[in-house]
Amino acid sequence: MKKHSPANGTIRVGVVQFPGSNCDDDCVDVVRRHFDFEVFKIWYQLTELPKLNAMIIPGGFSFGDYLRSGALAAHAPIMRPIKEFANRGGAVLGICNGFQILTESGLLPGALLQNRNMEFICRTVHLKSASNSILSMPIAHGEGRYWIDENNLSELEDKSRIAFRYCNEQGLTNQTANPNGSVANIAGVYSENKKILGMMPHPERASDCLMGGSSDGLKVLSEFFNRV
């Protein structure tokens, strides 16, 4: 895997930990093993961040998903310095529950609602990226149905801020390929400066072919780190 190095040296990545996070160690392992970056676990009660180049808010069930997914975590102490980091142009990746937290905190537009079939979904899906690449990686969520109103959807489309759409193996983005009922098959979106990415699929779980899946998640992570 290509090594990314900013002008001032090695990239430093923070991985946030909330009560109920369960993909934090997966993210730490992938970033260390495949990218050879310095990684710091960031506890949710901290009010200051160490010097970082990028942050990952991982998947799981922060605070048990009480109230609704991501709603309580969005008000945790760590979110104030994360917002300050993002507002300074810092790169932030929210995966699954992390995506929910980013929308709940206002760092990304839209909302993640209960899946169309009202059931938890755990399976591999295909995605079409903004560059029209077709990727394969897993999803595991009960509230992954992305919603946004028509005016803001048009803005996302006009400004190329839709990072991923659910598709079939041929790249068709139809309702048959839409696992949760997301508007316009959206699986991930960017912030206006494209430094913040939220996505429901798990790139950290698609990092090693030896695990029986694809390694397409490394392409997603590599592109994200290229924005640092």
DSSP letters along the chain, please? ------TTSS-EEEEEE-TTB-SHHHHHHHIIIII--EEEEEETT-SS--S-SEEEE--B-GGGG-SSTTTTGGGSTTHHHHHHHHHTT-EEEEETHHHHHHHHTTSSSSEEE--TTSS-EEEEEEEEETT--EEEEEEEESS-EEE--HHHHHHHHHTT-EEEEEE-TT----GGG-SS--GGGEEEEE-TTS-EEEESS-GGGSS-GGGTS--HHHHHHHHHHHT-
Q: Is residue 24 part of a domain?
A: yes
In a domain, 5, yes or no: no
- pLDDT of residue 172 exceeding 90: yes
Structural domain of 61: 12-226
- The answer to whether position 34 is within a domain reads yes
- Look at residue 4 and tell me if it is in a domain: no
pLDDT digits (tens, 9 = 90+) for 148-169: 999 999 999 999 999 999 999 9
Give 7-46 pLDDT, tens digit per residue: 446 899 999 999 999 999 999 999 999 999 999 999 999 9
Question: Does any domain span residue 55?
Answer: yes
Cite the active site residues.
Answer: 96, 202, 204
pLDDT band at 208 (very low <50, low <70, confident <90, very high): confident
Residue 7 lies in a domain: no
How high is the pLDDT of residue 26? Answer: 96
Specify the number of domains making up the chain: 1
CATH number for 52: 3.40.50.880
